[in-house]
Structure 1
Amino acid sequence: MEIQQFDRESKGFFKVLEEEKEAGRMTYSWAGNDRIIIDHTEVNSEFKGKGVGKQMVLSAVDFARDKGISIIPLCPFARSVFDKHEDLRDVL
């Protein structure tokens, strides 16, 4: 499983590739210079239940920690990951 990030001026996304197939995509928008808003997470039906969505959220957490920014999880799925994992909340 390979996770790629594409970051543009005001928006970006993480995407997961498995054997050259897109397994999932999570989009975000920049809110100023110091936070991102995760607005949508989608996993291809053949990859559901394999932790693809969680891996994208974890990648966003790593990105936020590395850049010293915070995350607003507007997406219900991303919010549920933060609710279940207290150790990720330092980026909220």
Structure 2
Amino acid sequence: MSNLVEDNPAKHRFEILVDDALAGFTAYLVRGGVLVFTHTEVDTRFQNMGVGGALIRGTLDQVRARGARVVPQCPFMSAYIDKHPEYADLVAEPS
């Protein structure tokens, strides 16, 4: 199973494709150099397969590469960052 995380700026979300099928997304709002993540959803066909974690990891890696920061309003992303403190430096204080 191959997966790919891509930003879809037109829809304001990062999407994860599994074998070319949309398996999930994490939605964001842009606030300057900060991305406020509001909601994460994984298709029921792909739940409990690590797709959500792969989506968040790929998203945060791309945010880091851009030099941006995140506000994880989404409980799933927030919990992921709590469990993976190597991403804690990406969290911006909410304004």
TM over 0.5: yes
TM-score by length of 1: 0.86
Match of 1:19 in 2: 19
- 1:2 deviates by 2.0
User: How many angstroms does 1:60 deviate by?
Assistant: 2.0
Structure 2, unpaired ranges of 5+: none
Using the alignment, how far apart are the partners of 1:48 and 1:60 within structure 2?
Answer: 18
Q: How far does residue 3 in structure 1 lie from its aligned partner after superposition? A: 1.9
**Helix, strand or coil for the counterpart of 2:48?**
coil
What residue ranges of structure 1 are gaps of 5+ in the alignment? none
Residue number in structure 2 paired with 1:79: 78
1:15-43 C-alpha deviation (Å, 9 max, x unpaired) = 112223211111111012x1101111000
User: RMSD across aligned C-alpha pairs, in angstroms?
Assistant: 1.4
| In structure 1, C-alpha distance between the alignment counterparts of 2:26 and 2:76, rounded to whole Å | 10
Q: 1:4 maps to which residue? A: 6
Aligned to 1:68: 67
Identity %: 29
Inter-partner Cα distance in structure 1 for 2:12 and 2:90? 18
| SS at structure 1 position matched to 2:39 | strand
Aligned residues: 89
Looking at structure 2, the residues matched to 87 and 27 of structure 1 have their Cα atoms a distance apart, in angstroms, of 22
